[in-house]
Amino acid sequence: MDASPAQRAALLATARAMGAARLNVGTAGNASLRLGADGSYLITPTGLPAEACTAADMVPMGADGNAHGARAPSSEWRLHHDIYARRPQAGAIVHAHAPFATALACQRREIPPFHYMIARFGGSTVRCAGYATFGTQALSDLALAALDERCACLLANHGMVVFGRDTAHALALAIEFEMLCEQYWRSLQLGAPVLLAEAEMAEVVARFSWYGQPQENG
């Protein structure tokens, strides 16, 4: 099991883009991409800022949880491992300590349907997973519960995790999620926002099931 040069380059570019988008600073956060249907994946290394990494520093991980690279994997490898095992549609994962997402996570706030774009992440809310120490199985278990029927969640007193079809999609969703977190935070400064009704959000969730997909003619 190994990753191609293109896969290594894509993951490194994603990690660097996370910093450029202000999702992360220094060695905080991590990213990964799925390598195969067996649950193997490629993940960023622990303790190295993306700017100091090369493509060779990206770490292949087996479905058994064993690393196969020269570097040690991110301390959050269990979280990535378990998401790939449980969510076959996940092709890449971004975990970040983005400012507004983290501010809300430190308040342990679920993000309610204050804006219809919340539906982009799979439902009428984005949940906040309970707190557990970073890198532990307990954190992974809590995150998986919060991600049920969702592709994003907050991690209490920690940050965010988002998955997508591939690295570009996961990064775009993470940036969009951080923007929504900022909008919600700013709205709270004016008071409690007016929330969309359950039926209104159900209609949006249904529309997102086909939004952006190719349409058949005829």
Please identify every residue annotated as catalytic: 76
Pair 34, 1: CB distance under 8 Å: no
Which residues are CB-contacts of 41 (< 8 A; sequence separation ≥ 6)? Answer: 32, 33, 34, 35, 60, 61, 80, 81, 84
Output the CA–CA distances (angstroms, integers) from residue 14 to 63, 153, 163, 167, 194, in the order listed.
Answer: 22, 19, 13, 7, 35
φ, ψ at 7 (rounded to 5°): -65, -40
Q: How far apart (Å, rounded) are the C-alpha atoms in residues 196 and 76?
A: 35
Q: How many CB atoms lie within 10 A of CB 184?
A: 21
Contact between 26 and 49 (Cβ < 8 Å): yes
Sheet order of strands, 159-164 included: 59-61, 41-43, 30-34, 92-96, 159-164, 152-155, 128-129
Q: Are strands 152-155 and 128-129 parallel, antiparallel or unpaired?
A: parallel
